[in-house]
Amino acid sequence: MSADFPVALILIFGAALIPPLRGAVRRAYMLLLPLAAFICLLAVPQGMHGQVELLGHNLVLMRVDKLSLLFCYIFLLAALLAVIYALHVEDTLQHVSGLIYAGSALGAVFAGDLLSLFIYWELTAVSSVLLIWARRGEHSAATGMRYVIVQLLSGLFLLAGGLMHWRATGSLEFGQIGLTGTAGALILIAFGIKSAFPFLHNWLMDAYPEATPTGTVFLSAFTTKLGIYALARGFPGTEELIWIGTLMAAFPIFYAVIENDLRRVLAYSMNNQLGFMVVGIGIGSELAINGAVAHAFADILFKGLLFMSMGAVLLRTGTIKGSELGGLYKSMPWTTGFCVVGAASISAFPLFSGFVTKSMIMSAAADEGLLLTWLVLLFASAGVFHHAGIKIPYFAFFSHDSGIRCAEAPRNMLVAMAISAALCIGIGVFPRGLYSLLPFVVDYEPYTASHIVSQLQLLFFSALAFAVLMRTGIYPPELRSVNLDSDWLYRRAAHGFATTFHDTLTKTRAGLAAGIFAHAEAVIGLIDRQRRPGGLLMRSWPTGNMALWVMVMLLAYLLFYYAGNGHA
């Protein structure tokens, strides 16, 4: 196949052929699509391919370099895993939209210019929302609507910024953009929405927990990582990103701790992991960029794995509330095991993938002498261990037995989780493989004594605290119905702080919202009255009324003409 053929189209148009297929043929075909795309990709040399002209602009549909290839590999891998995970689902809508979504994310990664980036950008938004709507409830419909509006808005920012960039520089090429002028700012906002920057992040926590169990696995892989890729491409070394990322890594921790919906906990922890990557991009040194994209690679795998295990729980038990689960390790031993691997990876245990990637970002921050950032990231690492590393598996699978007895996850789900888990461990044990794919040459050794010791110290002290509290009985007996998080440490310290933090925020927001809502209700009421029969919006106008308007317009034109033309 020619190098000019956009690989993304294999998935996008390939997905269109799914509906008529049935049963085993469909399943085989869906597995084949990412593999076929991967094989095509192997034949493509690095460089700018697929140049076409649209609307008088030269578009580059296939910019193949190490950065885009890395994201492409992981996107294809994620697509394959998500397809395997979703094989048991009998819902054409989900299959088609999932693959189109993966394909458009792929296309966006290869886009060498802002216009084709925009086109794929919007396509990811439109295709991914179907995964949320596929849950088919009032609630998911509303959530999906909010989600898609935010995503489309991000596209609009990108288009507006891209056009201004084009006006300023005369080129639509998507390279280093930098935070210069309005154009750069608009594009940064667009990327920021996708990467869930603080205050632009709500769609993530809102939408991901509302998708179908399999849909969330798709969602978790592409949208935010596409944002990270775009940032790495357009804004490396932008100092503002360091602070944005630091904030991102820290604040979701508080929310993750008090959240009860375990998939939402994961959404918060995803936001926190994205913070690490954004910091890396902001630092902009070779090590930092390597670390950011490597962490994105690893995050897709372990966060996918965690979402998969939670999806399996949701599928089998019908709930995902931490307070209603517990003791599932008896029923779902395999899922439990895989979840623990994911938890260990996200907590960056040595020999797991998070360790070899996250430590690059930490080291880069230390190299640059960013003490505050480094400390916050350290705190965030401890936080991750607590809410994702312990809380998720503990509440779902251990804790006090909820009495739920269910079947083990379907076999295809287990296969997908097993592959992900194997990869998590594989990357952790043999980091060289991943390192060789990174955009810059890696001269970094994760397994030094000081790295391992400091990381283990961090983890073991957290675990020790947890264990001691459990043992000594200070750990409160469960109050499952009330509390979200029955951890003494959190109840006394972090929880209190988090709650205050949350309350203040909610209050300010509520105050603002009350004002806005009061007005909005008045407007909606007005509109509602007008849309009833006989209202302004529904009325067929009487003819005389129309004729009157004609006269008004004529007079207006005459007046304007005389005024505009002076006294002719």
556: enclosing H helix or E strand:
helix 543-565
Q: What would the 3-class secondary structure string for 283-331 be?
A: HCCHHHHHHHHHHHHHHHHHHHHHHHHHHHHHHHHCCCEHHHCCCHHHC
Provide the minimum distance between the beta carbon of 555 and other proteins in the complex, in angstroms, as a whole number.
9
CA distance 189 to 200: 9
Residue 458 Cα to chain centre, angstroms: 27
Provide the minimum distance between the beta carbon of 18 and other proteins in the complex, in angstroms, as a whole number.
14
* Interface with other proteins, residue 538, by CB under 8 A: yes
Q: Do residues 387 and 257 lie in contact, with contact meaning Cβ atoms separated by under 8 Å?
A: yes
**What is the token pair recorded at 72?**
């492409």
Q: Judged by CB under 8 A, which stretch of 38-46, 243-251, 409-417, 559-567 contacts other proteins?
A: 559-567
Q: Which residue has the tokens 């038990």?
A: 317
Q: Judged by CB under 8 A, which stretch of 1-9, 215-223, 325-333, 551-559 contacts other proteins?
A: 551-559
Q: What are phi and psi of 438, to 5 degrees?
A: -70, 155
* From candidates 156, 189, 247, 382, binder to other proteins by CB under 8 A: 156
* Interface with other proteins, residue 139, by CB under 8 A: no
Q: Do residues 81 and 26 lie in contact, with contact meaning Cβ atoms separated by under 8 Å?
A: no
* From candidates 468, 470, 514, 527, binder to other proteins by CB under 8 A: 527
* Interface with other proteins, residue 16, by CB under 8 A: no
Q: Judged by CB under 8 A, which stretch of 41-49, 200-208, 369-377, 549-557 contacts other proteins?
A: 549-557
* From candidates 122, 210, 261, 299, binder to other proteins by CB under 8 A: 122
Closest among 63, 84, 67 to 7, alpha carbons compared = 63
* 464 vs 537 by CB, closer to other proteins: 537
Alpha helices in 43-113 (DSSP H): 66-85, 92-110
* Interface with other proteins, residue 553, by CB under 8 A: yes
∠ CA 108-162-101, rounded to 5°:
20
* Interface with other proteins, residue 168, by CB under 8 A: no
* From candidates 35, 145, 493, 512, binder to other proteins by CB under 8 A: 145
* From candidates 23, 24, 167, 450, binder to other proteins by CB under 8 A: 167
CA distance 401 to 214: 26
* 40 vs 156 by CB, closer to other proteins: 156
* Interface with other proteins, residue 563, by CB under 8 A: yes
CA distance 2 to 49: 9
Reduced to 3 states, what is the DSSP secondary structure of residue 186? helix
**What is the token pair recorded at 548?**
């009157």
* Interface with other proteins, residue 20, by CB under 8 A: no
Q: Do residues 125 and 152 lie in contact, with contact meaning Cβ atoms separated by under 8 Å?
A: yes
Q: Do the strands 57-64 and 47-54 form a parallel or antiparallel pair, or are they unpaired?
A: antiparallel
* From candidates 152, 250, 415, 452, binder to other proteins by CB under 8 A: 152
Provide the minimum distance between the beta carbon of 549 and other proteins in the complex, in angstroms, as a whole number.
5
Residues 227-256 that bind other proteins (CB under 8 A): none
* 138 vs 443 by CB, closer to other proteins: 138
* Interface with other proteins, residue 55, by CB under 8 A: yes
* Interface with other proteins, residue 550, by CB under 8 A: yes
* From candidates 3, 40, 69, 164, binder to other proteins by CB under 8 A: 164
* 122 vs 206 by CB, closer to other proteins: 122
* Interface with other proteins, residue 526, by CB under 8 A: no
**What is the token pair recorded at 553?**
């317009």
Count of beta carbons in the 10 Å neighbourhood of residue 526? 12
Q: Do residues 140 and 132 lie in contact, with contact meaning Cβ atoms separated by under 8 Å?
A: yes
* Interface with other proteins, residue 522, by CB under 8 A: no
* Interface with other proteins, residue 562, by CB under 8 A: yes
* Interface with other proteins, residue 558, by CB under 8 A: yes
Q: What are phi and psi of 201, to 5 degrees?
A: -100, -10
Q: Considering CB under 8 A, how many residues would be counted as binding other proteins?
A: 44
* 24 vs 550 by CB, closer to other proteins: 550
Q: How many residues does the chain have?
A: 568
Beta bridge partners of 47: 64
Task: By CB under 8 A, name the binding residues for other proteins.
Answer: 54-55, 118-119, 122-123, 126, 133, 136, 141, 145, 149, 152, 156, 159-160, 163-164, 167, 527, 530-531, 537-538, 540-541, 543, 545-547, 549-550, 553-554, 556-558, 560-565, 568
